[in-house]
Amino acid sequence: MKQGHETIGFNISLPREQHPNAYISPGLSFRFHYFALRKMHFMLRARATVAYPGEFGSFDELFEVLTLIQTKKVAQIPVILLGKEFWNAMVNFRKMVEFGVIDQEDMRAIHFVDTAKEAWNVIQNWYQLA
């Protein structure tokens, strides 16, 4: 993303730790009380998803996005997992394919990266922006 473009934030009301980040454009930070409504609004607008190492909420959102893509409830978008070492240790997607619980086609959207530059390259390639 070029410097100066607007960014949007969909936050959730939690008992601790959830605060809007400093990169959200003024007036574009939205707070939700229910997870389902937040996810619905997020997925209606998302053109890519970047998941960072995190706790249960990060996994919940990642798998919700992957399920929506797999079941064709939303258009396929790139799902970028930032932190190859973390994600490869936490979720063995290749084993899931081997066990037949997901298809190799489901892996098409998943991209492992270590830097923001790599993430941006995935998005540019996905949408043929470069």
Residue 9 pLDDT level (bands cut at 50, 70, 90): confident
The Cα–Cα gap between 4 and 32 comes to: 26
pTM for this one?
Answer: 0.83
User: In the chain, what are the domains?
Assistant: 1-44 (no CATH), 46-130 (3.40.50.450)
**What percent of the chain shows pLDDT beyond 70?**
96
Q: What is the mean pLDDT of the chain?
A: 90
Which tokens belong to 39?
């996810």
- Tell me the backbone φ, ψ of residue 128, rounded to 5 degrees: 50, 50
Q: What is the pLDDT of residue 33?
A: 87
pLDDT bracket for residue 1 (50, 70, 90): very low
CA dist 82 and 34 (Å) reads 26
